[in-house]
Every structure is written in structure tokens, then in C-alpha cells.
Amino acid sequence: MTLSRTTDLQPRPPRYGLTALLHKRSVQLAAIGWLASNVVVLAVAGDALPFDWPTAAARTPAGHLIDANLALAEVLLLTVLTYRLTRSRTLPNLADRAPERSVAARETLFLLAYGAAGLALGFVLAQLAGWHPFGLHLAGSIYGTHDHVSPAESIAWATYNLLVYAVVPLLFFRRRYSAEALNLRSGNRRADTFLVGVVLLIESLVQIAVLAPGTFDLSPGQLVLGAPLTFTLYLAGAVLPAMIFIYAILIPRFLRLTGSTAATVILGGLTYTALHIWDAWTVFTSPGNAVLSLAFLLLTYFAPGMFKAVLTVRTGNAWVHVWAYHALAPHTLVDAPHMVHVFDLK
């Protein structure tokens, strides 16, 4: 009995790697939230989902869940690969790039309130113009749409998001913080370029295999015009707004406040999900449809948002995710046919 009591009183050895990660409260809560979203869909959806998803109309609710969980698995594998490719690097301490804790808390609350106000204003202005609400995605992105989307709406969406989520926050914070403090400068360009190339290649192959994008069905003339147009509009309307607002400014502050890389990555995923609240396919006409919309927003955007945070935390360079996992794949690769249709390119 004495030996047993002595053993019990000895300090427990520290946990490392996956075991330590799985014991983090933030990771456990994220896993519970993900599982709960799966259960909600199975319980509420019935035989069909209420969303306008032309490119995935043939999939059942269970099929969509399988797709979402496979996408999460891909993100987890890409995360492991990213850690292996960056394991020999001198990793930046992003928390040191944020101000002291009380200032970081005020700035974080201000940014989150500002982002919510930007979403609210984007809803009102777009509705007044007879358009879809301005969120981080243009109507028809990724899933397609049967709704009419005009060139004017596309340009207004990109302009609004660029100004609200990128230009204004960058001007405000750049006066107070250096480019390095805002994750805008590479500390190792060769290593960052290699990481971008590897992730971009894998993600492009996955997108081609899974989504079979219609980009390859475009005529040469449509491709020559449509690909640069898609790249430019989505860079302005989705990629740079997410990069500046979340990964340049908020990520270091999340890390300063939580002291946890895992919690920071999860908060990055949740913030990225929230900025898509006005995706044109969401339906809030009933409690059941609203629950399904929120569940699929999480299932669609949480994992990609986390991986963008992983790339930023591991490199200290918010540009890495732009080229590796956002601007080119999926948007230019997948959404070029949509832009060809919107602008009626021949």
C-alpha cells in the first residue's frame, strides 16, 4: 500500500505529440462540435438537403457527410505533412508579434465586432441592390447556383470585401505594427516556396479528382480570359480579405490570448467559418433549415480555415496559404467556369 501511494503521488510524465494534442480541452471541444454537426445532419436532414447545390445535387445527406469527413481527413494529412516539412525550421513565435495581453484582448474584440458589422452592412447593402448578401464567397462559388449573378454584383462583392476586410484593417494596423508583426514577410523564402509548391500540387490533384472542375471543359478563349478574371476577383473578394483579417492580424492575437497553438488554429477555423455566414446556399427560413445551414457551414469551412492557420503558424507568413491553399486551388481551378458564365465569356 505504501509503494502504491508513493507511486500515485509522483508527478505524471509530460505528454508529447498526438497524445498531448488529444488531451487539450480546445481539441476535445472541437471534436465534439464536429461530431455534433454530423449527428444533427443525420437527425434533421431527412432524404434531402434544402440547399441550392447544382454541382452536388445528386449527393444524399449521408453522401455529403462522407465528403465533409473525407475533406477533414485530407486537411489532417496536409497538417501532418506541413509539420514534417517545417520540422527543421526555426519556427517564429507569433505570440511575440502581438501586443501585451490586455491590448491584444481589446484589439481582438474590436476586430471581431468590426467583422460582424462588416457582415451586417454587407447584407443590407447587397439586399438594397437586389443582390446576394456579401460574405466571403460570391454566390455560386464552389457549389454553383441556379440564381442569376451579374458582373456588377461580382465586382461590387469583390470591392466591398477588399475594402472592408483587407484595406481598412491593414491601413489601421500597419500604422502601429511592422510587416513582420502582421505575418506579411517571409522569414525563409526558399522553404516557404517549397511548402507552397508541395501543398498546391496535392490540393490541386485532390480538387481535380473529387470535384472534376469544369475548367478543363472551357474553350481556349474562355480559359485565357476566365482564369485571370477568376483569379483577380477571388483574390480581391475572398483571399486577401481572409488573409489580412484573420491570418495576418487575428492569428497572433489569438495565440497571445490563449497561449495554445491548437486553440489558435481552432479559433482561426471558426472565424473563417463565420465569415461565410451569408453564403448564397444557406437557408434560414425555418429552424431546421437554419440548423442544417450552420452545420454545413462548419463542415465545409472549419477544416480549411484551420489548415490556413496551421500554414501561418508554422511559417509566420500569411502569404503561404494564399498561394498554397486558396487563390489558385480551389478558387481559380474550380470557379473559373462560374466566372465565364457570369461575364458571358465566349
Cβ-based neighbour number of residue 39 at 10 Å = 12
pLDDT tens, residue by residue, 152-196: 999 999 999 999 999 999 999 999 999 999 999 999 999 999 999
The pLDDT, as a whole number, for residue 3 is 44
Closest CA to 295 of 30, 29, 39: 39
- Average pLDDT in the 136-163 region? 96
The pLDDT, as a whole number, for residue 14 is 53
Q: Where are the beta strands (DSSP E) in the chain?
A: none
The pLDDT, as a whole number, for residue 58 is 85
- Assess whether pLDDT exceeds 70 at residue 6: no
Cell of 226: 476566365
The pLDDT, as a whole number, for residue 211 is 85
Q: How far is CA 339 from CA 98, 107, 206, 301, 324, in A?
A: 38, 36, 22, 21, 21
Closest CA to 251 of 175, 312, 177, 169: 312
- Average pLDDT in the 6-11 region? 48
Which of the four pLDDT bands, split at 50, 70 and 90, describes residue 56? confident
Which of the four pLDDT bands, split at 50, 70 and 90, describes residue 12? low
The pLDDT, as a whole number, for residue 311 is 98
Distance of CA 217 to the CA centre of its chain: 27
Closest CA to 34 of 266, 233, 244, 222: 266
Q: What does pTM read for this prediction?
A: 0.94
Per-state percent for the chain, helix, strand, coil, to nearest 5: 70, 0, 30
Which of the four pLDDT bands, split at 50, 70 and 90, describes residue 8? very low
- Give percent of the chain above pLDDT 70: 95
- Average pLDDT in the 245-251 region? 98
Closest CA to 203 of 69, 336, 59, 333: 333
CA distance 296 to 40: 10
Asked if 299 contacts 37 with a C-beta cutoff of 8 angstroms, the reply is: yes
Asked if 154 contacts 342 with a C-beta cutoff of 8 angstroms, the reply is: yes
Which of the four pLDDT bands, split at 50, 70 and 90, describes residue 10? low
The pLDDT, as a whole number, for residue 138 is 97
Q: Helices 189-211 & 333-342, crossing angle to 10 degrees?
A: 70
The pLDDT mean for the chain works out to 94
pLDDT tens, residue by residue, 291-336: 999 999 999 999 999 999 999 999 999 999 999 999 999 999 999 9
DSSP character at residue 97: G
The pLDDT, as a whole number, for residue 15 is 56
pLDDT tens, residue by residue, 207-245: 999 888 899 999 999 999 999 999 999 999 999 999 999
Closest CA to 40 of 284, 304, 289: 289
pLDDT tens, residue by residue, 35-44: 999 999 999 9
- Assess whether pLDDT exceeds 60 at residue 251: yes
